[in-house]
Amino acid sequence: MCHVLLRDPDLASGLDARRLERAEQECLATELVIGEGDWDPERAAANAARGGVGLLILEGLLVRRVGAEGRYGAELLGPGDLLRPWEHDGDEGTLPFETSFRVIERAHVAVLDLKATARLAAYPEVVGALVGRAMHRTRHLAVNMAIAHYPRVDQRLLLILWHLAYRWGRVTSDGVRIPLRLTHTLLSDLVASRRPAVTTGLAMLERQGLVSRRDNIITLHGDPPSDLPGGKLGSPPDVAHPRRTYAAAHG
C-alpha cells in the first residue's frame, strides 16, 4: 500500500492544512511495480483498477503505441499521468490499429480501484485534481499532433524535445537536460517519422548547436522556439507547473 498524497503531493494542493494531514493518512492505494519491457495490462494486476479512477503513475516512464505495420504514433507517459489502459475500441473499432505498452524505465503506479476511489471521494479537491491530470494528458496529445504537421523532421524534433523539457526537463549549467532515454526509435514514433530521418534530423540539430547528446540523454541549448503562430509551444522547465517534474521526483 502507498499513501497517494505523500507520493504525489500536488494532488492535495487544494486542501487546507487541517484536512491535508488527515487526507495524507486516509488516501491509500495498492502500489504496483512494473519492470522494464513490454507490458500487457489485460494480464496484469492493473486490471484490479477497473471500475475505479484508474492507474496513477508515481515513478517511471511508459510508452503507449498505436498503429499497424510499422506506422505508429506514440505517447510518452510519466509521473503524474493518469491512465486506464483497458479503455479501447476493441472489436467495435473501425480501423485495424493495435495498441501496446512498453515500460522504458521501471514504473511504480498507484492502483486507484473502487476502494481507493471511495477513500479519495471524501476529498473532492483531490478528485478534481485527478480530472485535471486527464485533461492535461489530452492537451499534451494535441500538442504532439500539432508538432507532427511541421514539414521538416528537424523542426518536429526540436519542438517535441522542448515540449518534453517543459514536462520533465532540468535546468543545468550546460542547458536544459531531458533525463529520459530517448532512442531514435522512440523519437521516430513521437514525431511521426522514420528512424533514418530522425537520425539525420538530430545530427542537423547538433551541428547547429541546438542539442547535444550523450548515451541517448539529450540536452537542449538556447531558448525554446518563439517564432510559432500564437507564441511559444512551452515554457522553460523552471516555471510553475501543475505537478512535480520528473527531475524533481528523481532529485
- DSSP line for 189-205: HHTT--HHHHHHHHHHH
Q: What is the pLDDT of residue 129?
A: 95
Q: What is the C-alpha separation between 101 and 175, in angstroms, rounded?
A: 31
**What pLDDT shows up at residue 192?**
87
> For residues 127 and 23, what is the distance between their CA atoms, to the nearest angstrom?
12
Contacts of 179 (CB under 8 A, 6+ apart): 168, 169, 170, 217, 246, 247, 250
Query: Is the distance from CB of 160 to CB of 187 less than 8 angstroms?
Result: yes
How many other C-beta atoms lie within 10 A of the C-beta of residue 51?
9
Higher pLDDT, 244 or 54: 54
Give the DSSP H/E element, type plus range, for residue 107: strand 98-112
> Which residue(s) pair with 219 in the sheet?
177, 212
Which comes out higher in pLDDT, residue 94 or 166? 166
Residue 200 in this model has a pLDDT that exceeds 90: yes
pTM comes to 0.79
Question: 150-249: what fold?
Answer: Arc Repressor Mutant, subunit A (1.10.10)
- Dump pLDDT digits (tens) for 66-122: 877 767 778 899 999 998 887 764 555 666 778 889 998 899 999 999 999 999 999
And the C-alpha cell for 245? 517534474
Over the stretch 35-45, which tens digit does the pLDDT of each residue have? 999 998 777 66
**pLDDT of amino acid 131:** 93
pLDDT in tens, 139-153: 888 888 889 889 899
CB 113 within 8 A of CB 51: yes
Domain 2-146 has CATH 2.60.120.10: yes
Q: Tell me how far apart the alpha carbons of residues 37 and 100 are, in angstroms, rounded to a whole number.
A: 11
Q: Does residue 249 have a pLDDT over 90? A: no
Q: What is the pLDDT of residue 248?
A: 44
Q: What is the pLDDT of residues 176-192, one digit of tens each?
A: 999 888 888 889 888 98
Scanning the chain, the segments in alpha helix (DSSP H) are: 4-7, 17-26, 114-120, 124-148, 153-168, 184-190, 195-207, 246-249
What count of Cα atoms within 13 Å lies in the side-chain half-sphere of residue 189? Answer: 19
* Every domain of the chain and the residues it spans: 2-146, 150-249
Q: How much is the pLDDT for 37?
A: 92
Average pLDDT estimate for 4-17: 94
Residue 201's CB is within 10 A of a number of other CB atoms, namely 22
Written as nine digits, the cell of 131 is: 480530472
What is Dmax (Cα atoms) for the chain?
56
Q: Which residue pairs, CB below 8 angstroms and at least 24 apart, start in 135-140? A: 136/242, 137/77, 137/81, 137/82, 137/83, 140/75, 140/167
